[in-house]
Chains A and B, each alone.
Chain A
Amino acid sequence: GENVEQHPSTLSVQEGDSAVIKCTYSDSASNYFPWYKQELGKRPQLIIDIRSNVGEKKDQRIAVTLNKTAKHFSLHITETQPEDSAVYFCAASGSNYQLIWGAGTKLIIKP
């Protein structure tokens, strides 16, 4: 069946350093890959997404890369700040516009 694996489950980085979260998907037909950020006690919010016809997309300090051949995509956060502390979810599009979700990564920014 359709599956998305996300690693690591917890990531602790020093403030100012970079963080990278990786996801692997199983359905070669997937063509949309969003990333959501969920701060403690809040709703998941879409922070960046990429479609299969693009290899990389940037928005200020965050970027997403996609390797369709290897079926994996990654979220990169540079110059991490305390407000980046949250749980991050990746997802890949499945059949009928559904999203298949990764298990989440808890990002901890150490001061």
Chain B
Amino acid sequence: EAGVTQSPTHLIKTRGQQATLRCSPISGHTSVYWYQQALGLGLQFLLWYDEGEERNRGNFPPRFSGRQFPNYSSELNVNALELEDSALYLCASRIGLGHYEQYFGPGTRLTVT
């Protein structure tokens, strides 16, 4: 069974630009979570999508947004990039109702210069 995949592996952007990150969940999983992990720090919850809808968002500004597609893949968009947006962005998927376990992708390393 293929795991969660993310693309690209690395992304370098300039301050003020936009970044788009992509995530494909494990086959059969309907929920996707996005996390930001700054260097050496913890997992900060960004967004949760389930069945195509945004279910919850963390304490991040509106320039962080995303969507979930009918095939349950997801994309995270970050507008007006700031230097402090440099981090590892992790996607995790969950199978759905009745299950809590989240399975992580390898992450996208975003560097803003």
Contact = CB atoms under 8 A, between A and B. Distances in A.
A46 B45 contact: no
B107 A98 contact: no
Nearest to A6: B42
Interface string B67-87: 000000000000000000000
Given A96-B56, A97-B99, A103 B42 contact: yes
A46 B90 CA distance: 14
B56 A98 contact: yes
Given A32-B100, A34-B100, A44-B90, A101 B45 contact: yes
Contacts of A101: 42-43, 45
A45 B101 CA distance: 10
A43 B104 contact: yes
A43 B102 CA distance: 12
Contacts of B22: none
Interface residues of A, number: 19
A93 interface: yes
Nearest to B101: A46
15 contacts: A32-B100, A34-B100, A34-B101, A36-B104, A43-B105, A43-B106, A43-B107, A44-B104, A46-B103, A89-B43, A97-B94, A97-B100, A98-B48, A99-B100, A103-B41
A104 B38 CA distance: 13
Contacts of B56: 96, 98
Given A42-B106, A43-B105, A96-B55, A102 B100 contact: no
A11 B27 CA distance: 37
A93 B107 contact: no
Interface string A58-85: 0000000000000000000000000000
A96 B57 CA distance: 13
